[in-house]
Amino acid sequence: MKVTFPHMGHFHITGKTIFEGFGLDVVVPPPCTKKTLNIGTKYSPESACLPLKINLGNYIEAIELGADTIIMGGGVGPCRFGYYAEIQREILEDLGYNLEMVVLEPPDVHLGEVWDKVKYLMRSTWTQSLKSIHLAWHKTYAIDQLEMELHRLRPREINFGDADNIFKHFLIEIESCSTKNQVKKTADYYKGELSGIPLYKGKPVIKVAIVGEIYTVLEPFVNFDMEKILGRLGVEVYRPLFLSQWINDHLFGGLLPIKGSKKAKKLASPYLNYFVGGHGRETVGHAVELKDKVDGVIQIAPLTCMPEIVAQTLLFKVSEDFGLPIMTIYVDEQTGKAGLTTRLEAFTDMIYRNKFLGKKEEIVTCMGI
Ligand code: SF4
C-alpha cells in the first residue's frame, strides 16, 4: 500500500510522520504549483471550490509517483466538503486510475468509523503507531510556534527574508526528526537562530489578522504567500488558525492546554450562533476576539465558499460595531498575485495612514468581493 494525501500548509510533515509510523509507504505529492492547479482545474467541475481542484491535482501528481491509496479527511455539515471524496473518487475512476480512497471523517463526530479506518491502515504495532501520532503532534506544534515568531519578525527584520530562510531550514530538519527530544532540540536551535536576526528598533508596524476558510488560510500556494507579502509591507500577521489547534480541537477533544476555537465560537454567537459548515463561525468569532489586538482583518476563502459567504455578511456588522477595517478576498484559479498584492497594499496603506499619520477620515470599512 503506497499512500498519499493532499497538501495543506505544512500538513505533509504531520501526515508523513503519522503514516510512516503506521508502517505504510508514503508518497508525499510534489508541492502545489501551477501545474497542480492546472491538472485539478482540467478535471474538476468548474463550480467546485478551489481546494477540491488543487487536492485532485495533488492526487494525480502523487499517483504518477506510484501512490495507490489516497487518505483524505471527510466532512460533516451543510457545506460541500462532505461529498468531496465521492466526487474525487468518481473523477479519478473516470480517468482510469485504479486506486483506493480511505476517507477519515472528523473523529469528534464519527469516532467509531475513524477507529475502524485507522485499524485498517495500520501495519505496525499499536505502540509504534501511537508513538508516531505523538511525534507528529510535537512536530506540528513546534512548527506552529516558530511560524508565529516568523509572523512577528517579518515586518521588523532589516534584511527581508532572513527569518524565512531560517524557517525553511527548520522545516527540512524537523521533518527528519525521529524523537520528541530531537524535535525540541531542533526547535530550540532555530528559535535561537531567529532571535539573532538584526531588527529595526521602533519601526512602526501595523497588525492584521487573517481569518477564513482553513485551506486558503494555511496553504501558501493558494493565498500567494500572503503572509510574506504582508510582512514585506510592514504588517505583523495574527493568524488564529493553526494546524496544531485544529488537531487539538478535533482529534484530542480540546484536552491539550493550547488555544482552540471554543472562545471564538462563543464570541461569534451574537452574530452567528449555529454551525454553518467549514470555519464560518470561527471566522466571525476570531474577528471579534482579535478586535483589540489588531488594526484590521483580512478574510480569505475560496470563491463560492458557502460558510465564508455567510461569515462575510456578518463581518460587515462586526466591522461597523467595532470600527474595524475588514477586507474579504476570494480566490479561485483565475486569481493573480499582482491583483492580490495591489489590494493588500491599498488595505494596509489605509490602516497605516490612519494609525500613524492621523488621517482620521480614512477610517472606513473596506469590504471586497
Ligand atoms: S468550507 Fe468552503 S471551500 Fe471548503 S468545502 Fe466547504 S464550501 Fe468548499
Query: Per-residue pLDDT for 77 more than 80?
Result: no
Question: What's the pLDDT band for 350 if we cut at 50, 70, 90?
Answer: very high
Q: Is the CB of 281 under 6 A from ligand 1?
A: no
- pLDDT of the residue at 81: 86
Cell of 324: 474595524
Question: What's the pLDDT band for 259 if we cut at 50, 70, 90?
Answer: confident
Question: What's the pLDDT band for 359 if we cut at 50, 70, 90?
Answer: low
DSSP state of 259: -
User: 325-339, pLDDT tens digit by residue?
Assistant: 999 999 999 999 999
Cell of 71: 487518505
With cell 491599498, the residue in question is: 346
Question: What's the pLDDT band for 362 if we cut at 50, 70, 90?
Answer: very low
**289-294 — which CB contacts under 8 Å span 24+ positions?**
289/240, 289/263, 289/264, 290/209, 290/238, 290/240, 291/318, 291/322, 291/324, 293/207, 293/209, 293/238, 294/207, 294/208, 294/209, 294/238, 294/324
DSSP state of 28: P
Q: How far is the CA of 307 from the centre of ligand 1 (A)?
A: 7
Closest atom of ligand 1 to 213 CA is 1
Q: Is the CB of 305 under 6 A from ligand 1?
A: yes
User: 16-72, pLDDT tens digit by residue?
Assistant: 999 999 999 999 999 999 999 999 999 999 999 999 999 999 999 999 999 999 999
Closest atom of ligand 1 to 49 CA is 8
Counting ligand 1 atoms within 8 A of each CB, the residue from 86, 214, 223, 306 with the most, and so the one to mutate, is 306
As a whole number, mean pLDDT of residues 165-193 equals 98
**Closest residue (by CA) to atom 3 of ligand 1?**
305
Count CB atoms within 10 A of the CB of residue 204.
11
Q: How far is the CA of 358 from the centre of ligand 1 (A)?
A: 39
Cell of 250: 478535533
**Closest residue (by CA) to atom 2 of ligand 1?**
305
- Angle, nearest 10°, between helix axes 126-153 and 162-175? 180
- pLDDT of the residue at 369: 44
